[in-house]
């Protein structure tokens, strides 16, 4: 079994050759930066959302506590 390549070539080829319909010669001539720009141009830039810290989560839970029985009442709904 060969080691896994850290880059997902199957996804890159599906995007470049399939979705963008680039000729293979154009796709293989692209630099990684150009491929990244094509991905961003098509899908937009992903915005990384940092999860709240434990301190922030505790503060939100204190500010917006669950009322007694609320979860059980919501679980009864279809």
**CB neighbour list of residue 16: distance below 8 Å, 6 or more residues apart:** 22, 27, 30, 35, 38
Task: Provide the pLDDT for residue 67.
Answer: 76
Please tell me what DSSP assigns to residue 76.
T
Query: In which residue are the tokens 């990684």 written?
Result: 32
pLDDT in 10s for each residue of the chain, 78 residues: 566 667 888 989 999 999 999 999 999 999 988 988 988 888 888 776 788 899 999 999 999 998 765 555 555 555
Q: What is the dihedral of CA 37, 42, 48, 49, to 10 degrees?
A: 160
Measured CA distances, 14 to 4, 9, 53 (Å): 18, 8, 37
Query: In which residue are the tokens 């692209």 written?
Result: 30
């Amino acid at each position: 079994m060969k080691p896994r390549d850290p880059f997902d070539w199957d996804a890159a080829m599906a995007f470049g050759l399939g979705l963008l319909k680039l000729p293979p010669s154009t796709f293989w001539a692209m630099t990684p930066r150009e491929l990244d720009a094509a991905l961003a141009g098509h899908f937009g830039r992903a915005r990384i959302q940092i999860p709240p810290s434990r301190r922030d989560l505790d503060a939100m839970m204190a500010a917006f506590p669950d009322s007694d029985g609320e979860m059980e009442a919501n679980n009864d709904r279809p």
